[in-house]
A = this chain, B = another copy of it.
Amino acid sequence: MNKKQLFEQIRVKKSFLCVGLDPVLENLPEHLLDLEDPVFEFNKQLIDATQDLCVAYKPNTAFYESRGLKGWKSLEQTWAYIPKDIFTIADAKRGDIGNTSAMYADAFFKEEQSGLGFDAVTVAPYMGKDSVSPFLNYADKWVILLALTSNAGHSDFQLTESENGKLYEEVIRSSSGWADSEQLMYVVGATRGSEFANIRRLAPDHFLLVPGVGAQGGSLKDVCEFGLNDHCGLLVNSSRGIIYAGKGTDFAEKARAEALKLQQEMESILTEAGLL
């Protein structure tokens, strides 16, 4: 999916919501546990219940890999079940030397080989340009590079000051020379609302993937005040707040209700900004 198509989906759905599909077996509704693949069934019902309210789904690969082969199978089935007009993000935080990153690109983008054809993958910047470039060889596929994350450890290295500013600023500045905003997005944690103005200055045209709204404590309003641009430019993720809204047989309805709240909030933000 390209940038124009993504913005078009945002206008159609009146939403820039990304739903994080991060299922933990122990937290699933009990009535699913006897099924052959409870994780896929959980995701399937969540997708059925929320697909008109969100523009993206983001499975975090760790939640699948932790169950080994069975988990990888659930991931494959989940990806295949997502309607093709919805943007799909493999939240995999990969990154390796060039020829190895090319393998990761195959893993997440090359459906005929790996069974997965995500639109985007999250990538860690530590190993530099050649760890990122191989992902860009796929047309209309995206790298979402870690810039400023929302976890406690973000301050260990991302805020380190050099003559190029903070490390996350240097990551944005350097990487914006490797690809343009048609193939590159950044991960920016929602708990850092006040840094958004700064990030928008460095990356005015890029989409930003914002985890951390909800369970991780960020505010949607703060994020939008600083992060919105003329093509929205934001994908705001919520995972636990939506997928665990209910624990009973009505878990999907409850998930829909939470997604709807966020979609409605987003609709009024988009309307106010004149983007609809």
Contacts and interface: CB of A to CB of B under 8 A. Distances in A.
Interface of A: 22, 24, 60, 62-63, 65-69, 71-73, 76, 93-98, 100-101, 103-104, 106-107, 110, 113-116, 124-132, 146, 149-158, 160-164, 167, 170-171, 174
8 contacts: A24-B103, A60-B100, A98-B153, A128-B158, A129-B152, A129-B153, A131-B153, A160-B170
Q: Which of A62, A124, A126 has the most CB of B within 10 A?
A: A126
A154 to B, nearest CB: 6
Contacts of A153: 97-98, 127-132
A124 B96 CA distance: 9
Given A95-B93, A101-B62, A130 B157 contact: no
Contacts of A96: 60, 62, 93
A79 B176 CA distance: 39
Nearest to A216: B97
Contact of A68 (B100, B115, B151, B152): B115
Nearest to A97: B151
Contact of A149 (B127, B151, B170, B174): B127
A100 B162 contact: no
A107 B151 contact: no
B163 A163 contact: no
A24 B99 CA distance: 11
A107 to B, nearest CB: 4
A113 B131 CA distance: 30
Contacts of A170: 157, 160
A7 B273 CA distance: 63
A164 B97 CA distance: 26
A128 B151 contact: yes
A161 to B, nearest CB: 6
Contacts of A128: 151-158
Nearest to A101: B62
Contact of A171 (B93, B104, B132, B157): B157
A95 B124 contact: yes
Given A68-B72, A69-B76, A113-B68, A62 B146 contact: no
